Amino acid sequence: KIDSLLRVLPQKSDTAKIRVYLKLANGYRRLSLDTAIHYALTALEQSKKYKHIRYEYDAVFKLGDFNREKGNFEEAYTYLQRSLAIGIMLKDTLGQAQTFNSIGNTYNKQGNYPKALNFLLKSLEIKERLGDKHGMSNTYINIGNVYDHLSAYAKSEEYILKGAQLKEELGDYYGVAGALNNLSIIYTRRYQAEKSIQTLEKVLKGYAKYMDPYLRSAVLGNLAEAYQAERKLGKALEAAKECLKIRLDLGDSTNASYSYITLANIEFDLKHYDAVIEYATHALKMSERMGILNHVWDAHVSLGEAYAAMRKPDKALYHY
């Protein structure tokens, strides 16, 4: 699809090119965030030049989403507020709901769960009122993810299953795979790691043709944690390393910082304390730069545990 878009791009008129830039941005979303941002910025510049508000609307929404995944949260909020303002001006109620959903996901990434829930529930109320089943399915799963972070596992499972059921009805098998992936996290948290492994291995086998690198990295990351919980540390390390490589290739900084924490935790179980310090230090630097406080917390805990195990109490106490 990307190749086809690149071939037709030189043949298009100036305003038609903007639409191609937006499609290219969307195409690169799960392949290379830097390239996706480049095309979205190009579309934004051109839409302003030709005073095409609809294309500007699409571009700023995409830039909000992409910058969130890069960990550029201030830029994400700026673009999403612009998206919301245009949506209000155009009286696009469903578009406003989508923007509320994206703002909620941004607060979730930052670890601000009350604000995340507030915006996601606003989004859901509009989508339910308008009968937007595709949008509802996404927001149900996003709300489930927030409840998972709050350790409200019953509510988390309830919302994720509602989202998965809707996606099944809509024939969105990529979405079903994503929902099952999120469900596996709850199983691992509830000390049902074997059930989590079975779910994730089913996703990798049964939904492979629907998956992209972004979703594959998420499945591998969760599989690494489930293997770790079952003390299958060799398999855990292999899955975590593959997950990290994909995320770094994608430029997915927010999730890459968590992959470093996962690797640090596995290496701790293997008593490889120098490796723990290396991975946790990477995670700490990345998450401090992006302002992801829950990852900062996790990284300090990993470093404290490693230094304590190495009998370096001063360094351990500093991180604790």
What DSSP designation does 12 have?
Answer: S
Q: What is the mean pLDDT of residues 180-193?
A: 92
Burial of 154 (0-12, 13-18, 19+ CB in 10 A): exposed
- Output the DSSP codes for 96-132: HHHHHHHHHHHHHHHT-HHHHHHHHHHHHHHHHHHT-
Q: What is the mean pLDDT of residues 217-244?
A: 97
Residue 311 has what pLDDT? 97
Q: What percent of the chain has pLDDT over 90?
A: 88
Whether the CB-CB separation of 228 and 197 falls below 8 Å is answered with no
pLDDT in tens, 21-69: 999 999 988 888 999 999 999 999 999 999 999 999 999 999 999 999 9
Residue 131 has what pLDDT? 95
Whether the CB-CB separation of 289 and 144 falls below 8 Å is answered with no
Residue 1 has what pLDDT? 81
Please determine, for residue 11, whether its predicted confidence score (pLDDT) is greater than 80: no
Q: How confident is the model at residue 225 (pLDDT cuts 50, 70, 90)?
A: very high
Distant-in-sequence, close-in-space partners of 165: CB < 8 Å, separation ≥ 6: none
The sign of the CA dihedral 97, 103, 105, 111 is negative
Q: How confident is the model at residue 15 (pLDDT cuts 50, 70, 90)?
A: confident
Q: How confident is the model at residue 2 (pLDDT cuts 50, 70, 90)?
A: confident
Residue 144 has what pLDDT? 96
Residue 14 has what pLDDT? 81
